[in-house]
A and B are shown apart, each in its own frame.
Chain A
C-alpha cells in the first residue's frame, strides 16, 4: 500500500508501491477521459515550475482539474520573490501554506528533496535538473503494463543513455520487475557504470550494443530517446549516429507482432511520422497516460479517505 508523503525519486519506491499506483491509475482512467469527479474538490495544487515545461505542467494541471481540484501557478520567475533572491526553502514554506500539495520542477538536482524537507504539504518532483522525474517513470511503467506486460519483459532502451534522465529512472524501476534490458546507444552515449551496477545488483539481465537491428526483433518494448545534436562536436558524426537509430515502417519488418514503441517526447528524427499510424506506435497514448498516473498520485497524496499516515522522513536507499 502507498504510504508516501512525497514523490521524489524512484529509489524511494518498492515494487508493491509502484503496483499500487498503477492499480489506482487504472481505476481512474475513465476520469482522465472526462468522467466527472469531485474526488479532490476543495483541494489546491501549486505548480512551481522554475524551468519551462509544457506537457508535464499541463498534464498535472489536467489531472488536478479532472479530479475536481484547483490549481495555482508560480508564474514567470521574473518579478517574483525568486528574482529577489528568496531561497527555495522559503518559497516552498510560503506556497506550502497556500496549497494542499506542491509540484516542483527546478534546474538544480536534489531540489525536490530539499523542498520536501521544508514543505508542510506533499511534494511531487516534476524533474530536478539532470536528476529525477519519477512521474515520467511511473507513466512509462503504466504504459508498459497496460499495452504490453511488466512480467518477463524484454525491452530495448535506445539513444542517449548517458544524459537521458528518463532512461536511468526507468531502467532502475524495471530492474525491480526483473526485466531483460538491452541498452542500445552509440559508444559515447552509453549508460554510466554507476547506474548499470545498480541494475545488475538486482539480478536484472543487462546487455549493451550499438546495433539496434540486432535486437529490434527480439523485444516487447522499444523505448526510444532523443539524441541531442549538442552532444556531438562533429555534425557529420551526429548525422551518422542519428540515422542509425531512426525508426521507419520498413525498419519494423519482422518485429514481434505485439511490439510497442515508446518515447518520452518531444521527438525529432528518431521516429519517422509514418510510424505513427502503425499499431506499434504508443508514444501519444503514453503522454495521455501521464494524466491518469498523475491523477492517481494526486489522489493518493491528497484524497481524504485513502490518505495514509504520513511517512515524515523520506526513505533514501
Chain B
C-alpha cells in the first residue's frame, strides 16, 4: 500500500475523486453540493504528493455513487480529476471528468453589470468555449471567464 492510500482507509461503497489539483478539494465539495451539514461520510485529503500533478487532493464520498453530470462540473476547477465508483471495495467504474457544453447554476458571472447578477428569476448559464484551459462565456452578457473560476462558484 502506498503512503497516500494509508492516509485514508479504502471505502466499501461510494465514489473516490482522485487527481484533484492541490488545494481545490473544498471547492470540489462545493460544486457537488456537499456542505458542512451533510449526512454523508466524506473524507478529504489535501496536498499529497502526486507524480502527475505535483500536489493533489482526494475526496471520498461513502455510500453515494455520484452521477456523471454531477461530477463533470468538477472539471471547471480540476480538469485532470478521475472518478472511481467503488462497490464492495472494488473499483467498478473509472473515468475522467469531461465538462458539459453548458453549465447551469454553478458559476456566477464575473461581470457586475450582467443581468444574471440581479434579482431576476434566472440561473447563471455558462457556455464552455474551451475545456483545458477552461474558458467559459456567459450566455447572457457574453463576457468570457478565463480565470478565478473557483472564486465565483455559487
B118 to chain A, nearest CB (A): 6
B39 CB within 8 Å of chain A: no
For residue A117, CB closer than 8 A to chain B, the reply is: yes
Task: Name B121's contact: one of A87, A110, A194 (CB within 8 Å).
Answer: A87
Give Cα distance in the complex from A138 to B136, angstroms.
27
Tell me how many residues of B have a C-beta within 8 Å of chain A. Answer: 19
| Residue B3 at the chain A interface, CB threshold 8 Å | no
CA distance A117 to B119 in the complex (A): 15
Taking a contact as CB atoms under 8 Å apart, the answer to whether A110 and B140 are in contact is: yes
Residues from chain A with Cβ under 8 Å of B140 in the complex: 109-111, 113-114
User: B98-134 CB contact bits vs A (8 Å, 1 = yes)?
Assistant: 0000000000010101111011111000010000000
For B119, list chain A residues within 8 Å (CB): 87
- Tell me if B120 and A88 are in contact (CB < 8 A): yes
Contacting B115 at CB < 8 Å: which of A9, A108, A132? Answer: A108
Q: Is B22's CB within 8 Å of the partner chain A?
A: no
In Å, the complex CA distance between A9 and B142 comes to: 9
The answer to the question of B150 belonging to the interface, with a C-beta cut-off of 8 Å to chain A, is no
Residue of A nearest to B146 (CB): A194
Please pick, from A87, A129, A316, the residue contacting B113 in the complex, using a CB distance under 8 A.
A129
Residue B144 at the chain A interface, CB threshold 8 Å: yes
Secondary structure at chain B's binding surface: helix, strand, loop or mixed? loop
Name the residue of chain A whose CB is nearest to the CB of B135: A194
Q: Tell me, yes or no, whether B76 is within 8 Å of chain A by CB.
A: no
Does A11 belong to the interface (CB within 8 Å)? Answer: yes
Residue of A nearest to B102 (CB): A316
Most chain A CB within a 10 A radius of its CB, from B115, B127, B138, B144: B115
Interfacial chain B residues near A109, Cβ < 8 Å: 111, 113-115, 140-143
Which residues of B come within 8 Å of A, CB atoms? 109, 111, 113-116, 118-122, 127, 138-144
A-B contact pairs, 29 of them (CB 8 A): A11-B142, A87-B119, A88-B115, A88-B120, A89-B120, A89-B121, A108-B114, A108-B115, A109-B113, A109-B143, A110-B109, A110-B114, A110-B115, A110-B116, A110-B138, A110-B140, A110-B142, A114-B115, A114-B116, A114-B122, A114-B140, A117-B122, A129-B141, A130-B113, A131-B141, A132-B142, A194-B144, A316-B127, A316-B139
